[in-house]
Chain A
Amino acid sequence: MTYKTDLPVMLPMKRREAEPFLSLKMWYILPIALLAILGPNLVVAQSTPESQSPIAVLLNWAPLLLKGFIFNLVISVSAMALGTFVGAILGLGQISLFAPTRHSSWFVTQFFRNAPWLVLLFFAMFLLPFEINLFGFKIPFPDWFKAILGLSLPVMANVSEIVRGAVRSLPSGQWEAAESLAYTRLQTLWLIILPQCVKRMLPPWMNLYSILTMATVLASIVGVNEVMTLTGQALASEGGRPDLLAPFYGFVLLLFFIYCYPIAKFTVWLETKYAVIS
């Protein structure tokens, strides 16, 4: 049955999508990157004949850049794994019944959550030794390893908050029901609370991973041989041709886009899916 009405509450509900800023959509980066890569070729046709076209130069370097990019991904996955592991423990520390654990976990979380990522990276780079002596063995601490440690610090703090928030978001009735059935606190957390939290934690956790992946290029500032560092070196060894800048950095943009965009899409999908259920 339908009514003719102008009352807003009587109208069928329609979900309003948020308008992106200036109607810019994320995938617009695709043509922009392609334009950046291909555009300069049109210009080069009129310039000196002996130099290679930018696209040809880029293709020469592409395998190396790709390797660098894979290194970025290795750093991101490692930092995420480490940060998630420590962050989960820290997050559980934040809901501990033992006040000193709770307060110190809270402090560590807040400290690293409110610090610029680059500063934390520098912190790890320059305060950690390049090798450590352990029972006479020299264990080297390469730069990339320090970068992983440095980037895992903010991840840790953010995961800690994600865990704390998810646990807090469950209705208190779940805790009370478990308590009244004589579950221990550890059992309650492990069997009842955390399994329900995983769904809630997944979208923000993946979001964090996306951000981390894009932040791995910060490691170029401290000299790790990741994609940005290699791009810089490639450009330098080509004699700093200005017409190469746009194609090379466009290529790097494209790599990150191809990797991160599906993650972002999937996160949004998960968010809508779980928002309806819970």
Chain B
Amino acid sequence: MSWTPADPMVSLKNVHKSFGDLKVLNGVSLDVMKGDVICIIGPSGSGKSTLIRCVNALNDIQQGSILVEGQEVNDPKLDKLELRKKVGMVFQQYNLFPHKTALQNVMMAPIRVLKQDKAQAEETARGLIKKVRLEGKENAYPGELSGGQQQRVAIARSLAMRPDVILFDEVTAALDPETVGEVLQTIKDLAEDGMTCILVTHEMAFAREVADHIYFTDRGVIVEHGPPETFFQNAQDPRTKEFLSQIL
């Protein structure tokens, strides 16, 4: 059975995950089609970040199935490196490599991991830095950039690997309010280009604007999901309603 673009790009079925005695995911299922932008929202500690970290095998799961382009992630024989070439990730704390310049951060993995030609990788990297609107900052070190700028470099770094899907783990949560907008704009540009994105976010207005589908998680399960209009205006579950009333 081989994967075709008509199948879900990422497909979670009945995923269970616990840290010791603490059950974090309690049977989560969701499908993400190619080109979809989905947002996962929910109270802190509801397992949102764990959920997307399982998709690129940063966390392993105890039960269930995660398929990425038809490849099973919950498999001891999984080639993690191959999986991670397809799945990009952007972190809350940016996690840029502080000893490398912005340009080096972006072009290092294509050269070292994908074995791309150096000149070609540099050209691509410069193009990506332009795309995230950081022209002129190529030679700046992460410590010399603002949080928002660092996060955009991190997005460019992830894009340089030409992933099929990118995971965004609360990427604006550590930012100053005035720089949140520029990062969200960058993600919006990506979404418009047709990049498949899975976002964990607290930015409701943004989720409403860019998401094709919204999932609300609480205590390790998906309580409710739907397209943004229905989800925000017509939530059914009392837990969703309570969460939305607190946050909106």
Contact = CB atoms under 8 A, between A and B. Distances in A.
Interface of A: 171, 173-174, 176-184, 187, 191-192, 195-196, 277
A179 B95 contact: no
Nearest to A192: B97
Contact of B112 (A174, A179, A191, A277): A191
Given A173-B93, A176-B91, A182 B99 contact: no
Contact of A187 (B89, B96, B99, B112): B112
Contacts of A177: 89, 91, 95-97, 154
A181 B58 contact: no
B58 A180 contact: yes
List of 7 A-B pairs having minimum Cβ-Cβ separation, nearest first: A177-B95, A173-B95, A180-B89, A182-B84, A181-B109, A182-B81, A182-B85
Interface of B: 56, 58, 80-82, 84-85, 87-89, 91, 93, 95-99, 108-109, 112-113, 143, 154, 157-158, 161
Given A181-B113, A187-B113, A174 B95 contact: yes
Nearest to B167: A180
B96 to A, nearest CB: 7
B216 to A, nearest CB: 25
A181 B109 CA distance: 7
Contacts of B87: 180
10 contacts: A174-B97, A177-B91, A178-B97, A180-B84, A181-B161, A182-B81, A182-B82, A182-B84, A183-B113, A184-B81
Given A187-B113, A191-B108, A182 B95 contact: no
Given A171-B93, A180-B58, 17 more contacts: A171-B95, A173-B91, A174-B97, A176-B95, A177-B95, A177-B154, A180-B84, A180-B87, A181-B157, A182-B80, A182-B81, A183-B109, A183-B112, A187-B112, A187-B113, A195-B99, A196-B98
Interface centre among A180, A191, A277 (most CB of B within 10 A): A180
A191 to B, nearest CB: 7
Contacts of B93: 171, 173
A184 B98 CA distance: 19
Contacts of B98: 196
A176 B58 contact: yes
Interface centre among B81, B82, B85, B112 (most CB of A within 10 A): B112
